[in-house]
């Protein structure tokens, strides 16, 4: 079996600008990942085949981004028992609100962990995947904790700069 990895699935190549922050976060934690464009509606058999194969090869978490009807995360969750994180993409006339509802409204027993609409959600999907992997990996847990501390320090530094400017 190969090294554990995270699969990042996008319903369209137009989702890549949003999902770039997911890939960046995964790289920050040195998490191996695969990225793929596949569709719950247009390529359901290929989506099923990829998810089944990825799980067999060691995929531990699936991150699925889609806009509009946004059924990709739910379709993937119906295939695997691995954690699935859904990222609603902010597109279309409702700017991702339809995607949010499509992603979050799953039937009991087939969960999708849904993050915020758009790039903030995409970034959080990467962090959430790292936290999921950290449950069984002490080194990853330490890296996540260190990254959270760096983030807090950055906020404190910005406040100190503001306070100095106001003084």
Average pLDDT, the chain: 96
Instruction: Using alpha carbons only, give the angle 29, 128, 4 rounded to the nearest 5 degrees.
Output: 55
How far apart are alpha carbons 157 and 50 in whole angstroms? Answer: 44
pLDDT band at 2 (very low <50, low <70, confident <90, very high): low
| Residue 60 · residue 132 · CB < 8 Å | yes
Which CATH code is given to the segment(s) 5-136?
3.40.50.1970
Residue with tokens 């990254």: 147
Provide the pLDDT for residue 104.
96
Q: Where are the alpha helices (DSSP H) in the chain?
A: 16-28, 44-56, 72-77, 97-104, 119-134, 138-166
- pLDDT tens digits along 30-81: 999 999 999 999 999 999 999 999 999 999 999 999 999 899 999 999 999 9
Q: Taking the domains of the chain in order of start, what are their residue ranges?
A: 5-136, 139-167
Helix (H, G, I), strand (E, B) or coil at 107: coil
């Amino acid at each position: 079996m190969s090294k554990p990895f995270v699969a990042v699935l996008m319903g369209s190549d137009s989702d890549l600008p949003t999902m770039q922050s997911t890939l960046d976060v995964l790289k920050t934690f040195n998490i191996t990942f695969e990225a793929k464009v596949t569709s719950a509606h247009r390529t359901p058999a290929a989506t099923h085949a990829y998810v089944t194969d990825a799980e067999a090869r060691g995929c531990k978490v699936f991150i699925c981004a889609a806009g509009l009807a946004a059924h990709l995360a739910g379709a993937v969750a119906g295939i695997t028992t691995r954690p699935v994180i859904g990222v609603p993409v902010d597109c279309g006339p409702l700017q991702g609100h339809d995607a949010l509802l499509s992603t979050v409204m799953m039937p009991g027993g087939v969960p999708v962990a849904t993050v915020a609409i758009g790039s903030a959600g995409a970034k959080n999907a990467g962090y959430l995947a790292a936290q999921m992997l950290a449950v069984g990996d002490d080194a990853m847990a330490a890296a996540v904790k260190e990254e959270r501390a760096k983030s807090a320090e950055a906020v404190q530094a910005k406040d100190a700069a503001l306070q100095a400017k106001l003084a």
